[in-house]
């Protein structure tokens, strides 16, 4: 066995922010002139008002140099007014850092992050982040609390909408794309903002899918599943981290020295700063590890949380704690140093104000809306298409658009929509009308999901009978996903299934469009509906993108990044599970259920197309390598159908016998390929130590000698197989 250092497997060091000597000199000079109150001011972030303006007290705090950051204050004029107090009237003229939840767009709202990840297109994600950064920076926001890179294996958790799904490899690729899109090569340049990797760490494993709940995660699982996307963000140069709400193995994540200091600063050498989540420092009292605000401040700061969001335990208690010798003054200095470092790297000292002349030009431009429409189209996942029901013909004379979400603008945008406006959203109904300007579009939306009546259901059936084709728009309302929106069931909410059955009883060509922020249990609907298109929460231009797919102007090519269960009783369910001593089989005493299948409804990586693809010619060269060697894998993919389309070729690896148990499959590479009818392409991958290695029994990264199974296909199930041997 050959053990390799983590550092040898990281992305090139040049990608990470290095300590600039000039910046460090300026930081030290400023730090040497600060009073303790001014230092603590830099560690304080306060909340503005919902309309984007500052609270009255914040101007005075800024003048006194006691306010390092605010969140939710936005709009160039609002930002400049508060910034002026700090830059022109405070003693040291340290600028304020303005943050905001720019999660999937600022004013132009892109699909939710789970949808963007379903594109399997990191360049698309990078461009979406870049567009969001341009708009946010024009509005005075220089820091976004994104990307959320939590791995999530439980779709009951509402915040799965904000992440990339269940896989650490895909999550790492998307984390890098988000960070590079937001920050670029130089975050001080116009149109760039500081990114924030959140929530550090393990938040996606909240028990029961209940937000803010406790988590129990072994160190091996932390390092192999939950850490990698955060490490990828560090390697990409992310400037900030956010500590999580959850309790992690008995130590709250916002007072966890192992993750915040040992791993983040010690092992990974992260030079940026950590901000707590909203009041997470004060919530250490509720967790039961802090007796009061002073205790909470001591625990959080000494564990590695640099900036306190909204609660004020640092400013209120640290002077006395330092005087009493319970907190070293050096801990405050180091936290302030990290905050100032980021402000210098962002260029805030040179360019503290927003350019008010750019705001109206940058926001919600035609170019940005077109980018959002392309992103929504590439994020669509075709789950089912029996009999090639889709795409519909544009020659249809009448179409019924049915369902409570058909014209729901908020549900189209989703959760955490920045400064997006529901009035701007293009719904599925809007999209159908625009795509078929000469057709009769019959509408039967009914009431809200929770208020569908017998009359609504009978009206839907009548509308379906009167139309040539039916579009059923079903799923979850906007407030059913996102933060604090855990669900105990994954069924379609309300009476939507009854509505669907009534419409389907008309026997017309019917397609279901699903809006929502999580995988749902769709068994009964799938049995009845011939075609199902997962549109997620597709953003400002989502309705037009859906119509593009429904009527053949776009061919869905997205793939699932979370496993779809058959029922909530299968949760947690994810593709990269362990085999176990009695893997599921037909035997009675095996790992299965007695009342239903153990397999998922749709596996990770699943997604259909309006055309067909063939993967062939898998070859591995060489078939035997040393532990430090590399092998090239090639395969061919061909479009055998009559339409142009995209296929995502996916490579999975399995080590059947190892020092420790390994997953039945691990994603190690993918490529999204666009092909015309009859066209083929060669897809190449390289497997080396980073892909083949794992943590051994001693928690050291190693490449073990032996056989590795390679599978290449179009989802995590099936595909072509080959073997690679690592020589002793």
Q: How far apart are CA 73 and CA 333, in angstroms?
A: 27
Q: Within this chain, do residues 394 and 501 fall inside the same structural domain, yes or no?
A: yes
**Residue numbers of the domain that contains 509:** 370-560
Cα-atom radius of gyration of the chain, to the nearest Å?
26
Q: How far apart are CA 53 and CA 159, in angstroms?
A: 27
- Looking at 150, 154, 277, 313, which residue is catalytic? 277
Reading across the β-sheet that carries 706-713, which strands appear in turn?
624-625, 720-726, 706-713, 645-654, 666-675
Q: Which DSSP string corresponds to 531-595?
A: EEEEEES--TTHHHHHHHHHTTSS------SSPBPSSGGG-S--SS-B--SS-S-SSSSSSS-SS
Q: Report the pLDDT averaged over residues 17-36.
A: 90
Q: Within this chain, do residues 656 and 528 fall inside the same structural domain, yes or no?
A: no
Residue 184 lies in a domain: no
Q: Within this chain, do residues 379 and 332 fall inside the same structural domain, yes or no?
A: no
Q: How far apart are CA 428 and CA 437, in angstroms?
A: 14
Q: How far apart are CA 498 and CA 519, in angstroms?
A: 20
Q: Report the pLDDT averaged over residues 173-194.
A: 98
pLDDT interval class at 704 (50, 70, 90): very high
Percent of the chain predicted with pLDDT > 70 = 98
Helix (H, G, I), strand (E, B) or coil at 156: coil
Q: How far apart are CA 347 and CA 351, in angstroms?
A: 6
Q: Within this chain, do residues 326 and 425 fall inside the same structural domain, yes or no?
A: no
> Using an 8 Å Cβ cutoff, are 620 and 710 in contact?
yes
Q: What are the pLDDT digits (tens) for 654-697?
A: 999 999 999 999 999 999 999 999 999 999 999 999 999 999 99
Residue 500 lies in a domain: yes
Cα 593 versus chain centre, distance? 32
Q: Within this chain, do residues 380 and 513 fall inside the same structural domain, yes or no?
A: yes
pLDDT interval class at 6 (50, 70, 90): very low
pLDDT interval class at 12 (50, 70, 90): very low
Q: What are the pLDDT digits (tens) for 599-630?
A: 999 999 999 999 999 999 999 999 999 999 99
Q: How far apart are CA 471 and CA 469, in angstroms?
A: 7
Residue 393 lies in a domain: yes
Q: How far apart are CA 615 and CA 673, in angstroms?
A: 12
Alpha helices in 141-240 (DSSP H): 168-183, 219-221, 228-235
Q: State yes or no: pLDDT of 178 exceeds 60.
A: yes
Confidence at residue 673, expressed as pLDDT on a 0 to 100 scale:
98
Torsion of CA 668, 672, 676, 678, to 10 degrees: 10
Half-sphere exposure of 419 (CA within 13 A, CB side): 24
Question: Is 282 designated active site?
Answer: no
Confidence at residue 680, expressed as pLDDT on a 0 to 100 scale:
98
Q: Within this chain, do residues 387 and 300 fall inside the same structural domain, yes or no?
A: no
If one counts the domains in the chain, the total is 3
Domain containing 420 — which CATH number? Answer: 3.40.50.1700
Domain containing 704 — which CATH number? Answer: 2.60.40.10
Q: What are the pLDDT digits (tens) for 412-430?
A: 999 999 999 999 999 999 9
Q: What are the pLDDT digits (tens) for 247-271?
A: 999 999 999 999 999 999 999 999 9
Q: State yes or no: pLDDT of 4 exceeds 60.
A: no
Confidence at residue 20, expressed as pLDDT on a 0 to 100 scale:
85
Q: How far apart are CA 176 and CA 487, in angstroms?
A: 30
Residue 479 lies in a domain: yes
Closest CA to 671 of 685, 660, 658: 685
Task: Tell me the two tokens of residue 197.
Answer: 């990797």
Q: Within this chain, do residues 693 and 633 fall inside the same structural domain, yes or no?
A: yes
pLDDT interval class at 149 (50, 70, 90): very high
Torsion of CA 475, 478, 481, 485, to 10 degrees: -120
pLDDT interval class at 139 (50, 70, 90): very high
Q: Within this chain, do residues 282 and 380 fall inside the same structural domain, yes or no?
A: no
Q: Within this chain, do residues 504 and 390 fall inside the same structural domain, yes or no?
A: yes
Q: How far apart are CA 664 and CA 676, in angstroms?
A: 34
Torsion of CA 580, 582, 588, 593, to 10 degrees: 0
Cis peptide before 158 (omega within 30 of 0): no
Q: State yes or no: pLDDT of 191 exceeds 90.
A: yes
Q: What are the pLDDT digits (tens) for 514-538?
A: 999 999 999 999 999 999 999 999 9
Residue 650 lies in a domain: yes
Among candidate residues 560, 592, 626, the one where a domain is terminated: 560
Q: Within this chain, do residues 618 and 550 fall inside the same structural domain, yes or no?
A: no
DSSP H or E stretch at residue 615: strand 613-621
666: burial class by Cβ within 10 Å (0-12, 13-18, 19+)?
buried
């Amino acid at each position: 066995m050959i053990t390799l250092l983590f550092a040898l497997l990281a992305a090139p060091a040049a990608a990470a922010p290095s300590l600039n000597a000039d910046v460090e000199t300026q930081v030290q000079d400023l730090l040497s002139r600060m009073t303790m109150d001014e230092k603590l001011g830099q560690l304080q972030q306060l909340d503005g008002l919902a309309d984007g303006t500052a609270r009255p007290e914040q101007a005075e705090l800024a003048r006194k140099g006691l306010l390092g950051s605010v969140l939710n204050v936005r709009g160039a004029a609002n930002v400049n007014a508060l910034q002026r107090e700090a830059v022109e009237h405070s003693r040291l003229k340290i600028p304020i850092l303005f943050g905001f939840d720019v999660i999937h767009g600022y004013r132009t709202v892109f699909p939710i992050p789970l949808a963007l990840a379903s594109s399997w297109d990191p360049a698309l994600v990078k461009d979406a982040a870049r567009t969001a950064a341009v708009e946010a920076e024009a509005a005075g926001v220089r820091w976004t609390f994104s990307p959320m890179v939590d791995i999530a294996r439980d779709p009951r958790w509402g915040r799965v909408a904000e992440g990339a799904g269940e896989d650490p490899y895909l999550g790492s690729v998307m984390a890098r794309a988000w960070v590079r899109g937001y920050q670029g090569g130089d975050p001080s340049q116009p149109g760039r903002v500081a990114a924030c990797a959140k929530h550090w760490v393990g938040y996606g494993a909240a028990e029961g899918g209940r937000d803010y709940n406790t988590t129990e995660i072994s160190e091996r699982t932390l390092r192999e599943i939950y850490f990698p996307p955060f490490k990828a963000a560090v390697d990409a140069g992310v400037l900030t981290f956010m500590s999580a709400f959850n309790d992690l193995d008995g130590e709250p994540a916002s007072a966890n020295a192992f993750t915040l200091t040992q791993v983040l600063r010690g092992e990974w050498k992260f030079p940026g700063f950590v901000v707590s989540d909203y009041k997470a420092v004060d919530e250490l009292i509720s967790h039961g590890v802090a007796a009061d605000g002073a205790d909470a401040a001591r625990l959080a700061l000494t564990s590695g949380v640099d900036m306190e969001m909204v609660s004020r335990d640092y400013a209120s208690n640290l002077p006395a704690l330092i005087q009493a010798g319970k907190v070293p003054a050096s801990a405050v200095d180091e936290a302030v140093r990290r905050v100032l470092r980021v402000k210098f790297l962002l260029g805030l000292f040179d360019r503290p104000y927003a350019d008010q002349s750019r705001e109206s030009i940058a926001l919600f431009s035609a170019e940005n809306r077109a980018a959002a429409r392309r992103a929504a189209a590439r994020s669509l996942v075709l789950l089912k298409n029996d009999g090639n029901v889709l795409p519909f013909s544009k020659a249809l004379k009448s179409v019924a658009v049915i369902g409570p979400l058909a014209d729901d603008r908020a549900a189209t945008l989703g959760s955490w929509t920045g400064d997006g406006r529901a009035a701007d959203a293009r719904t599925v109904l809007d999209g159908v009308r625009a795509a078929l300007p000469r057709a009769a579009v019959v509408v039967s939306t009914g009431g809200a999901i929770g208020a569908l009546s017998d009359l609504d259901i009978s009206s839907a059936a009548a509308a379906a009978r009167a139309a040539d084709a039916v579009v059923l728009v079903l799923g979850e309302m906007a407030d059913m996903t996102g933060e604090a929106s855990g669900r105990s069931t994954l069924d379609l909410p309300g009476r939507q299934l009854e509505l669907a059955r009534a419409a389907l009883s008309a026997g017309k060509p019917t397609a279901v469009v699903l809006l929502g922020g999580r995988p749902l249990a769709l068994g009964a609907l799938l049995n009845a509906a011939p075609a199902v298109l997962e549109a997620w929460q597709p953003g400002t231009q989502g309705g037009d993108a859906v119509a593009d797919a429904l009527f053949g102007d776009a061919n869905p090519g997205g793939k699932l990044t979370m496993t779809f269960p058959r029922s909530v009783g299968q949760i947690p369910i994810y593709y990269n599970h362990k085999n176990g001593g009695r893997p599921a089989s037909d035997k009675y005493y095996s790992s299965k259920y007695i009342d239903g299948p153990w397999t998922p409804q749709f596996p990770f990586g699943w997604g259909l197309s309006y055309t067909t693809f063939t993967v062939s010619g898998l070859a591995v060269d060489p078939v035997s390598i040393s532990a430090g060697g590399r092998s090239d894998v090639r395969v061919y993919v061909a479009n055998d159908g009559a339409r142009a389309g995209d296929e995502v070729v996916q490579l999975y690896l399995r080590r059947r016998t190892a020092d420790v148990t390994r997953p039945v499959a691990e994603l190690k590479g993918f490529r999204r390929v666009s092909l015309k009818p009859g066209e083929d392409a060669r897809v190449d991958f390289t497997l080396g130590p980073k892909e083949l290695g794992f943590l051994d029994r001693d928690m050291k990264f190693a490449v073990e000698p032996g056989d590795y199974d390679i599978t290449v296909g179009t989802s995590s199930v099936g595909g072509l197989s080959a073997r690679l041997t690592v020589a002793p």
